[in-house]
Structure 1
Amino acid sequence: MTRRTPRKAALFAVAATGLALSLTAASPAAAHAGHHGGSAGALPPAGAVGHVLVIDLENESYAATFGPGSPAAYLNGTLLPQGELVQNYAAVGHVSLDNYLAQVSGQAPNLVTSSDCGTATGAGYLDVRPGTPDPDQTRYPGQVDGQGCVYPAGVPTIGDQLQSASYLPGLPTVVDWREYAEDMGNDPARDGGATDPLGGTDCAHPTQTAGSAADATGNAEGPNATGSQVRSGITDQYVDRHNPFVYFHSVTDAAASCARHVVPLGAATAQPSGGYRYSGHLARDLAGPFTTPRFAMISPNVCDDGHDATCAGVNAAGTTTGGLAGADAFLKAWMPLILNSPAYRDGSMLVMVTFDEGDDTDTAATDNERPGPGNANPGYSPLLNTPIPAFGGATYYQLLGVTGLTPGQQPPAGTMPGGGRVGAVLFNRFWITPGSVDTTGAYNHYSALRTFEDLLGLTTGGADGRGHLGFAASASDFGPDVFNRVPR
């Protein structure tokens, strides 16, 4: 996350309504009641879904995205009739990075990842210390102890799982996984990374040096713009905190492998006659089923994912509008490529579009989310409870009318249990009924990770010995409420 600073007026508007979140509304027992051993769902048969593609957008509640008056007209009008809306899908934390990390590794928010590694908490691109497995693996499956942002080499991601797995015997080797990060390396001096032959850089992340954890990619290139004060020539709106794989030594320490797997997205160029012309890695990879990754994550830039309300550069439609309208423009540009790809059309690809977290006042949790050892309240962010000089020393929580929080102090354990309801849209031509709405399931980012692991045949290792990383081991698979169609 790191809040959308161009939306200060909106923050004040929310605060003026007197909207308040009572920190006594949720109890630890209510937040964590239910099973703790994971739950298998009625998934398609083994091998039916061989590819998973995830698009993460930013910082919107379910009501804002899918409710009346939503500016996401393409998402609601064109995409929903082709997929399934999962209403009760929630984030697990309340900034960006903690949610992205959960999606690919099952690691729970700690106090530093819950602050986007921000300097307000005295952090930065620093290792999780001590980074050792928590001694109570029954309570904290797969979790490591400590605070920090970059996980030790012993903490795997779903990418690591796929690289070490054997699959499809006798068939040509397919791409195991890729992260497609929009704008990564458009300014190589700022972003870092290895030069990519298609443009930009690969595996772009800050360089860790003794005594320094500086991160030049905390925001879009140049200062965030407000109103009409948009800097000309801004072409790099990449931020690393929306690219979770570069926060794992298991990925970044193998430089050549990281450069193959963490690559720039490419470009979608609008054509005068309509439609788009695509270039770059995603377009090349989706051209055939054996070049389509088994797991793919797309991280739009901070204009196209809706993070910034007014963008430093331009969005996929060529304007400076961000928020849901900007995110919708990105989907309109890229989803036709994805839904017309061979792997999607033959039914072997599951596509999920979701958001990293809900709005600032919603800390709802689903699927029996539990806190990790590094933060007793996954929905609490020290960054959002830090006084802001520009706002007269008020915190973002105070500006939003959240009650019961003392600046700089954590709330009682269990009172902010999750990242709020965001919803998700899932697409598969054979196993999901187009235009359906799931009102019964309750899932989160851990549930998604568990489901992806099971669909992709990752059945050994992990926190439970059955292929589930971190808190995916205690989450539920998507059930028949999601996979609600049987191919004829």
Structure 2
Amino acid sequence: MRRLGVALAAFAAAAATTAATSAAAGAPESGHGHGTALPDGAIKHVMVIDLENEDFGTSFGPASPARYLNEALVPQGQLMTQYYATGHFSTDNYLAQISGQAPNRVSGNDCITNTTTFASTYTDVTPGTLDPDQARYPGQVDGSGCVYPAAVQTIGAQLDQQHHGAGQVAWRQYAEDMGNDPARDVGTPDPLGGTDCAHPAKDGAFPNRATTTDQYAIRHVPFLFFHSVTDNAAYCAQHVVPLGTVTTGSTGDTFQGHLAQDLAHANTTPAFAMVTPNVCNDGHDATCTGPNTEGGHTGGLVGADLWLKHWMPLILNSPAYRSGSMLVLLTFDESALTDTTACCNEQPGPDNANPGYPPLAASFGTLPPPTAPGQYPGGGRTGAVALNAKWIQPGSVNDTPYNHYSALRSYEDLLGIKTGGSDGQGHLGFAGQTGLRPFGADVFAGRTTP
């Protein structure tokens, strides 16, 4: 772990050695178990926020346009310089963070089944049966598709099996703009506005393009790709909800909706939360069809930074965060498409020998098709910021390699999930890979008194 000032001075040198660092990062830490280096119960809440499609240097380098991210958030937490995505495009990376499932040829292609119209199809993984070689493919199911059978668990299902305090929802997915246009998004009407559990019918198409009033993208809402969530409509509507809205003003911001309500009290803050901005505010769209958080149409890192500027104070001022019991991980789903590096001995799944190569890349001419297994091993280096009011040293920099599977393993450990999973110790899918290292004392060094 390093201090931020030292890291910035060494930025250029670090960038030059990224490839060597990535290769060295392939060796996992030996052993199984729970290695987060914190007392049991120290972290009671985990919140994951994904932005979109940027490499580490663009997001965190000296020329980054994301000033709030770099000047306000990074100094409050830990910059994880060697955090990696596990695939390209979006959908597979989101799935990995909650289930440990590896990209298949359809999920790794954003479920796009028509390369002319770029329409995505809400189709089941077929055959969806557990791969017989579990030593090689822990927790992985065979076949291609985007919607996983009911037997495939998420961290939400794991938390449902635990006892939680009165009034606390075990987990929630908050999706911005979900149900702004019910005819487009589908779902169940939510009393606070929008719709809950918004997904198409089986084998139905779902939109990939935003509208002026609705910039919701189901491909960034991973819990809706599991029958274990969607088959019970009432259960899904309780757990997959619209984010809510912020009204900005010179005298301060005003929030409405589920996230603001839930964060108002520690006992109503979910144990696990995933927050998904819309495709303008997560930085996916460079020029936004609808408005960004401040009413303009600038997207990319600038638009994402505006969203962080207004929403992160709500999160960091919440009782759960201020108590030191909440970990917030802010990262990016994947790096630029040309960066297909990986870390942490990432293994391919049984259906896709090159997790970093989406088949649609051939249509874009971005990457030549692979000629051998492992040619495109992962989703590239994105970096991440870890924030906690008690256990993370502000302004620290961590060069230890982690990826989306490492992060899932860490969340499971921190939240006390110790049984089941692909390794019998509570880790789902590739989060249960032998030797995979969870966040440890390098992340949770504690705060020092000035």
Q: Shared topology, TM-score over 0.5?
A: yes
Q: Which position in structure 1 is the counterpart of 2:309? A: 332
CA distance in 2, matches of 1:46, 1:411: 47
Instruction: Give the count of matched residue pairs.
Output: 424
Q: Which position in structure 2 is the counterpart of 1:146? A: 143
Pick the aligned partner of 2:155 from 130, 155, 158.
158
Q: Which position in structure 1 is the counterpart of 2:210? A: 220
Q: Which position in structure 2 is the counterpart of 1:454? A: 413
The 5 A counterparts of 1:292-371 are 292-371=269-348
Q: Which position in structure 2 is the counterpart of 1:185? A: 179
Q: Secondary structure at the residue paired with 1:103?
A: helix
Contact 1:378–1:418 (Cα < 8 Å) also in 2: yes
Q: Which position in structure 1 is the counterpart of 2:84? A: 90
Q: Could you tell me how far 1:429 is from its partner in structure 2?
A: 0.9
Contact 2:33–2:425 (Cα < 8 Å) also in 1: no
Is 2:375 aligned against 1:415?
Answer: yes
Contact 1:307–1:322 (Cα < 8 Å) also in 2: yes
Contact 2:120–2:208 (Cα < 8 Å) also in 1: no
Q: Could you tell me how far 1:52 is from its partner in structure 2?
A: 0.4
Pick the aligned partner of 1:427 from 378, 387, 390.
387
Q: Which position in structure 2 is the counterpart of 1:479? A: 440
CA distance in 2, matches of 1:36, 1:433: 26
Pick the aligned partner of 2:265 from 274, 277, 288.
288
Is 2:427 aligned against 1:468?
Answer: yes
Q: Could you tell me how far 1:124 is from its partner in structure 2?
A: 1.5
Q: Secondary structure at the residue paired with 1:351?
A: strand
Contact 2:29–2:437 (Cα < 8 Å) also in 1: no
CA distance in 2, matches of 1:164, 1:396: 46
Q: Could you tell me how far 1:85 is from its partner in structure 2?
A: 0.3
Point out where structure 1 has 5 or more consecutive residues left out of the alignment. 1-24, 222-233, 387-394
Q: Could you tell me how far 1:35 is from its partner in structure 2?
A: 5.7
Q: Which position in structure 1 is the counterpart of 2:61? A: 67
Q: Could you tell me how far 1:33 is from its partner in structure 2?
A: 4.9
CA distance in 1, matches of 2:373, 2:217: 31
State the superposition RMSD in angstroms: 1.8
CA distance in 2, matches of 1:81, 1:178: 28
Q: Which position in structure 1 is the counterpart of 2:41? A: 47
In the alignment, residue 214 of structure 1 is paired with which amino acid?
A
Q: Could you tell me how far 1:487 is from its partner in structure 2?
A: 7.5
Point out where structure 2 has 5 or more consecutive residues left out of the alignment. 1-18
Contact 1:74–1:328 (Cα < 8 Å) also in 2: yes
Q: Could you tell me how far 1:218 is from its partner in structure 2?
A: 1.9
In the alignment, residue 354 of structure 1 is paired with which amino acid?
T
Contact 2:36–2:410 (Cα < 8 Å) also in 1: no
Q: Could you tell me how far 1:119 is from its partner in structure 2?
A: 2.5
Displaced runs of 4+ in structure 1, greater than 6 A?
none
Q: Which position in structure 1 is the counterpart of 2:239? A: 261
In the alignment, residue 82 of structure 1 is paired with which amino acid?
Q
Q: Could you tell me how far 1:30 is from its partner in structure 2?
A: 8.1
Query: Taking structure 2 as the reference length, what is the TM-score of the superposition?
Result: 0.91
Greater CA drift, 158-167 or 257-266: 158-167
Q: Secondary structure at the residue paired with 1:325?
A: helix
CA distance in 1, matches of 2:33, 2:109: 30
Q: Could you tell me how far 1:91 is from its partner in structure 2?
A: 0.2
Contact 1:220–1:237 (Cα < 8 Å) also in 2: yes
Query: Taking structure 1 as the reference length, what is the TM-score of the superposition?
Result: 0.84
Report Cα offsets for 1:232-264 as digits up to 9, x if no partner: xx1110010000000000000011000000000
Counting aligned pairs with the same residue, the percent is 61
CA distance in 1, matches of 2:191, 2:448: 41
